[in-house]
Chain A
Amino acid sequence: MLDTNLTSAFVAAQAAYPHMKRAGGGKIVNIGSMMSLFGASFVAPYGASKGGIVQLTKALAAAWAKDGIQVNAVLPGWIDTELTRRARQEVDGLHERVLARTPAGRWGEPEDLAGIAVFLCSAASDFVTGTAIPVDGGYSAQA
């Protein structure tokens, strides 16, 4: 779990760094989760990996700002994917609970992440670094 979710991001960033530095700058977007923000009893390893993504993002942002590299994290909420489709089959009532808590009143679609990806990879975000931005229809804003 840590290898796939966290170490991979560190290894990939380290591999990209010399190229971005040589190019005079670059953008790194890491993928966190709602579990970067709060815990759930049934996903401790996943939560640990996604919490780590946020701190890794901040550390790299601080280290590489001098090279013109911005490092940010996106924290997707409940998105309708193969992964969460399986979770919905396995966890009773998950679908309804998510709907009830999400102010936007729906599950997210993968395309809901397109805009933040473009923003964080474009010149529009050149002064944005070390952030962790939820894209969750308001899920994390509502208790």
Chain B
Amino acid sequence: MANSFSLSGKAALVTGGNGGIGLGMARGLAQAGAALAIAGRDAKKNAAWSTTPAPTSARRRRTTRSSNGARCSTPT
């Protein structure tokens, strides 16, 4: 059963994921093995999220700009 909770090999896009509840969920997905992209309306917060202190050891991400201009963080 433990395996059925794994997100290894999956990609997750978390809109509104640069802070608050969205960030809490995004970190959970990353810890479960998902490759993560986050998008939000505040570019500064999008860029900063990977350095926001986390209670858990979420992996750091590289920030890129997607084709539609939204800031996304993707796995390095």
Kindly list chain B residues whose C-beta atoms are within 8 Å of the C-beta of A100: none
Question: Which chain A residue has the least Cβ–Cβ distance from B26?
Answer: A117
A79 within 8 A of partner (CB): yes
Distance from A3 Cβ to chain B, minimum over Cβ atoms (Å)? 11
What is the interface size of chain B, counting residues whose CB is below 8 A from a CB of the partner? Answer: 26
Q: Does A121 contact B34, Cβ atoms closer than 8 Å?
A: yes
Q: B4–A122 contact, CB under 8 A?
A: yes
**Cβ A81 vs Cβ B20 within 8 A:** yes
Interface string of A69-92 (1 = CB under 8 A from B): 000001010010111000000000
The CA of A115 and the CA of B22, in the complex, are separated in Å by 12
- A16: which B residues are within 8 A, CB to CB? 13
Confirm or deny: B50 has a beta carbon within 8 angstroms of a beta carbon on chain A: no
Where the two chains meet, the residues of B that have a C-beta atom closer than 8 Å to any C-beta of A are 1, 4-7, 10, 12-13, 15-16, 19-29, 31-32, 34, 55-56
**20 more A-B residue pairs beyond the given contacts A110-B23, A119-B5, with a C-beta to C-beta distance below 8 A:** A8-B15, A74-B25, A76-B21, A109-B24, A110-B21, A111-B56, A113-B25, A114-B24, A117-B24, A117-B25, A117-B28, A118-B32, A121-B7, A121-B10, A121-B12, A121-B29, A122-B5, A122-B7, A123-B5, A124-B5
Closest 5 CB pairs of A and B: A114-B28, A110-B24, A81-B20, A117-B25, A124-B4
